[in-house]
């Protein structure tokens, strides 16, 4: 994605951070028990939902743990100074639709409109800016399928540092092209990110280049934490912040900044159910790897939490929930249709959590849209998936008598119930078919679940047997 000019948005009303939090500044939140966290959401225990969502509370080890003490809100404030004139203070957009569902104001923190299309420029720039002259002279190296690659490439270019970025062979072409345009030398290696990471580490060992980790470093976390400072400035009345989680750098930074200044604010992390390493890790009290994470949300497709962010998440994040692929695609579709914002699946994960269980969030709520770098081909597939999940795209298969006019009669039935036919596949030669039978597969655009039911009823009333 090209480095674009920010849109004109109306920010939520706000005041200075210090005036909004003067009484709480510098305080550290006390240990929070699981019952206290559940009470804050107004729901008690957090059972898994029927749609596949689940939640788990963190261990509540308390903010005095070593990792939290080592990294403070002052580090985040210093990162904010370093990023002045580099990263954008992204807009906070209200969502009337989500506010109606939650029953309280919901705002969207638009990091999809950040430079390079995601929050990653924040941490990458702070990390590279802290390097010594000797380290800068050796250059930097990173491994990423997209967002971190672009963040490192631009940050290094702005600081006059040579960068090499390893990307998987199958990385989307727009992301590869954007990374090169930001000034990095791109090397395609490996089929999965783990292989790419290994190659980048080997390169660092061989050349002396500094490896820039996407989330497991204090400078990265401090940079990402500036999102939290901006949220408190833009929406001082916020009660809940919802953030997608991959390795944990973003949510750790936000929680670190927010809990130091506003310990009453609830921070909720969200993972894709097929790549949810944090729930078992929090339950075990240590980072746990999961085998072969699978999700369309490649930005949070991480098999193991980072050591540094994990400790902060365990101390300060109130809850981690999971969302299904259907919920992710529905959330992306909602962002596009209702908010007019292009958001990648990882960036839409907080919205997916809000759609899944809106009644469990105390408002005002801020949902962080972490990125908008989505491959157009993937976007096309996700939108179709999202339309199907929302009952607006219906595929069905049925058999009819193979005679002249039979297909026209079928289409007339669909026309009467106002179903838009997108595609028709007409099969006559399948050995499973009788001598006078034909099979038709239809892809229809519908108006929602009730309309899908109406279409099925109309076909059955006309004498057709719907097979799938």
User: Mind listing the pLDDT tens digit for each residue in 58-114?
Assistant: 444 443 344 444 899 999 999 999 999 999 999 999 999 999 999 999 999 999 999
SS3 of residue 340 by DSSP: coil
Query: Which of 226, 200, 202, 208 has its CA nearest to residue 145?
Result: 200
Q: Give backbone dihedrals phi and psi of 2, rounded to 5 degrees, phi first.
A: -70, 155
Give the mean model confidence (pLDDT) for residues 432-445: 72
Instruction: Give the pLDDT score at 410.
Output: 83
Give the integer Cα–Cα distance in Å for 115 and 127. 16
Higher pLDDT, 432 or 141: 141
Tell me the CATH number for domain 17-118+221-386: 3.40.50.1100
Instruction: Give the pLDDT score at 357.
Output: 96
Instruction: Give the pLDDT score at 29.
Output: 36
Higher pLDDT, 60 or 165: 165
Instruction: Give the pLDDT score at 32.
Output: 32
Percent of the chain with pLDDT over 70: 82
* Predicted confidence (pLDDT) at residue 168 exceeds the cutoff of 80: yes
* Predicted confidence (pLDDT) at residue 292 exceeds the cutoff of 90: no
Tens of pLDDT along 233-279? 999 999 999 999 999 999 999 999 999 999 999 999 999 999 999 99
Q: Which long-range contacts (CB under 8 A, 24 or more apart) does 420-428 make?
A: 420/444, 420/445, 420/446, 428/402
Q: Do domains 17-118+221-386 and 391-466 have the same CATH topology?
A: no
* Predicted confidence (pLDDT) at residue 399 exceeds the cutoff of 80: no
Query: Which of 67, 148, 118 has its CA nearest to residue 343?
Result: 118
Give me the sign of the Cα torsion angle 279, 361, 258, 110: positive
| 349 touches 325 (CB < 8 A) | no
SS3 of residue 239 by DSSP: coil
Give the mean model confidence (pLDDT) for residues 157-162: 97
| 293 touches 325 (CB < 8 A) | no
Mean of all residue pLDDT scores within the chain: 83
Where in the sequence numbering do the catalytic residues fall? 120, 370
In the chain, what are the domain boundaries? 17-118+221-386, 120-211, 391-466
* Predicted confidence (pLDDT) at residue 12 exceeds the cutoff of 90: no
CATH fold label, 391-466: Alpha-Beta Plaits (3.30.70)
Give the integer Cα–Cα distance in Å for 277 and 101. 29
Instruction: Tell me yes or no: is domain 120-211 CATH 3.40.640.10.
Output: no
């Amino acid at each position: 994605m090209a480095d674009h000019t920010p849109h004109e948005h109306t920010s939520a009303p706000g005041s200075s951070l210090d005036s909004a939090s003067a009484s709480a500044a510098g305080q550290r939140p006390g240990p929070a028990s699981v019952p206290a966290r559940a009470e804050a959401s107004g729901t008690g225990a957090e059972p898994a939902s029927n749609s596949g969502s689940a939640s788990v509370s963190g261990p509540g080890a308390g903010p005095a743990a070593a990792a939290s003490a080592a990294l403070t809100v002052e580090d985040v404030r210093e990162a904010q100074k370093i990023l002045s004139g580099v990263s954008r203070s992204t807009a906070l957009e209200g969502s009337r639709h989500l506010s109606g569902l939650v029953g309280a104001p919901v705002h969207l923190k638009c990091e999809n409109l950040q430079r390079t299309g995601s929050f990653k420029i924040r941490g990458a720039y702070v990390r590279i800016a802290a390097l010594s002259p000797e380290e800068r002279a050796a250059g930097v190296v990173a491994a990423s399928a997209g967002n971190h690659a672009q963040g490192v490439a631009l940050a290094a270019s702005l600081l006059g540092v040579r960068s090499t970025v390893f990307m998987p062979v199958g990385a989307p072409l727009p992301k590869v092209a954007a990374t090169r345009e930001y000034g990095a030398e791109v090397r395609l290696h490996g089929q999965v990110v783990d292989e790419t990471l290994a190659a980048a580490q080997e390169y660092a060992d061989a050349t002396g280049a500094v490896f820039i980790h996407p989330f497991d470093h204090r400078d990265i976390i401090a940079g990402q934490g500036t999102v939290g400072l901006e949220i408190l400035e833009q929406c001082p009345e916020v009660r809940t912040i919802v953030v997608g989680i991959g390795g944990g750098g973003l949510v750790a930074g936000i929680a670190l900044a927010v809990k130091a200044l506003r310990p009453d604010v609830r921070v909720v992390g969200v993972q894709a159910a097929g790549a949810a390493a944090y729930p078992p890790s929090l339950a075990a009290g240590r980072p746990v790897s999961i085998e072969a994470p699978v999700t369309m949300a490649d930005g949070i497709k991480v098999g193991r939490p980072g050591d540094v962010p994990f400790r902060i998440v365990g101390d300060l994040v109130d809850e981690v929930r999971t969302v299904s692929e259907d919920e992710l695609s529905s959330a992306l579709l909602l962002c596009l249709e209702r908010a007019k914002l292009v958001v990648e699946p990882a960036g839409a994960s907080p919205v997916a959590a809000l759609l899944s269980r809106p009644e469990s969030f105390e408002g005002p709520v801020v949902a962080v849209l972490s990125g908008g770098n989505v491959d157009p081909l993937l976007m096309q597939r996700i939108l179709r998936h999202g339309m199907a999940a929302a009952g607006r795209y219906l595929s069905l298969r049925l058999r009819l008598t193979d005679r002249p006019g039979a297909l026209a009669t079928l289409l007339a039935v669909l026309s009467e119930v106002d179903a838009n036919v997108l595609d028709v596949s007409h099969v006559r030669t399948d050995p499973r078919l009788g001598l006078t039978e034909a099979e038709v597969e239809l892809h229809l655009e519908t108006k929602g679940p009730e309309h899908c039911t109406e279409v099925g009823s109309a076909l059955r009333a006309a004498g057709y047997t719907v097979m799938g």
